[in-house]
Amino acid sequence: MNHPQPLADTLFTELYIYYLKGRIGQSERFFGNTFLGNWEEDDFSFLFFSSPSSEEVEKLLQVQPELTLLDQYQMSYEQWLGGSLEPFQVGQFYIHPPWIVTDKRKHAHNEFIDIVLDPGVVFGTGRHATTADCLEAIELAFSYGRIESVIDLGTGTGLLAIASARLGCKSVLAVDLNYLAVKTAEKNIRSNGADDKILPIRSSAEYFLDNDTDLVIANIHYDVMRRLLSSKRFLGRRFFILSGLMRNQARDVASKLFSYQVNILKKWEHDGIWHTFLGKVC
């Protein structure tokens, strides 16, 4: 199991990343407090540390000789995330890392919804255009009426699931196949006091394509989204948010939606590349 170090109390500046072919299983006992987590992708592992850890990795390779060290990198935390973790606002949502204290009285006066987000080494700070568009889409969907249940496919850091809960949804499923993403989402869910409303699940999104829900959020790989659109229960949902789409993919999705009895409530487009749809089933 891949247990990331809690990051809320420790803001590190440098990352030391070891890229291995193979999965490390239970061998994390060789790693100390500087180990931040293991991002597994297909048959590859990315080990993250906050200080140089070549000796620990060498011990791992001796115990698991089937593993191969392909490369290693050093970069700043901001380089990895693609920018600094500064507070920002999208609609009602005011999002900030836990090490930046906000004036809650000021936000309460302006009716902001405060969300604490520590991405660790998982992608999903909220700065990407598609994530920000999804936040806007969630807020707009909730403005149409009460939404009792949400499923967030490919939850990442849990940001969209948390936003849904903060708007009043009492039942949210936050699904991601990556263990490190789920553990990071769990931590963020607890930090926002939403663990009674959100259930993070490590699983493939395909297993939840036919789940009944008022709102499905899918900021996921296009192949999974196509299967979502073809699922038996897609038209049984009230609202849907489809995002992470590039131009040709968005064109195909729009064509598919046109053949259904749905209303596209709003579309977002950034730089002619990234596309997001908010729709309502008729």
* Local structure of 80: helix, strand or coil: helix
pLDDT tens track for 39-59: 887 789 899 998 999 999 999
> How far is 76 from 270, CA to CA, in rounded Å?
27
Here the tokens at position 106 are 């000021």
Residue 145 CB partners (closer than 8 Å, separation 6+):
none
* Local structure of 52: helix, strand or coil: coil
* Residue pLDDT tens, the chain, 282 long: 343 343 444 466 889 999 999 988 766 667 888 888 888 877 898 999 989 999 999 999 998 999 999 999 998 887 777 667 788 899 999 999 887 776 654 555 567 899 999 988 887 677 788 889 999 999 999 999 899 999 999 999 999 999 999 999 999 999 998 888 999 999 999 999 999 999 999 998 888 888 889 999 999 888 889 989 988 888 878 999 999 999 899 999 999 999 888 999 999 998 888 999 999 998
Domain coordinates of the chain in residue numbers? 14-81, 121-281
Q: What are the φ/ψ torsions at residue 208 (nearest 5 degrees)?
A: -115, 10
pLDDT tens track for 225-258: 998 998 888 887 899 999 999 989 999 999 999 9
> How far is 114 from 264, CA to CA, in rounded Å?
29
Here the tokens at position 138 are 């969630």
Q: What are the φ/ψ torsions at residue 247 (nearest 5 degrees)?
A: -55, -55
Number of H helices, E strands in the chain: 8, 14
Sort residue 65 into left (φ over 0), alpha (ψ -120 to 50) or beta.
alpha
Of the candidates 174, 210, 41, 187, the residue with the CA atom closest to the CA atom of residue 120: 187
Q: Looking at the domain covering 14-81, what would its CATH class be? A: alpha beta
Q: What are the φ/ψ torsions at residue 159 (nearest 5 degrees)?
A: -60, -45
Can you name the CATH fold of 121-281? Rossmann fold (3.40.50)
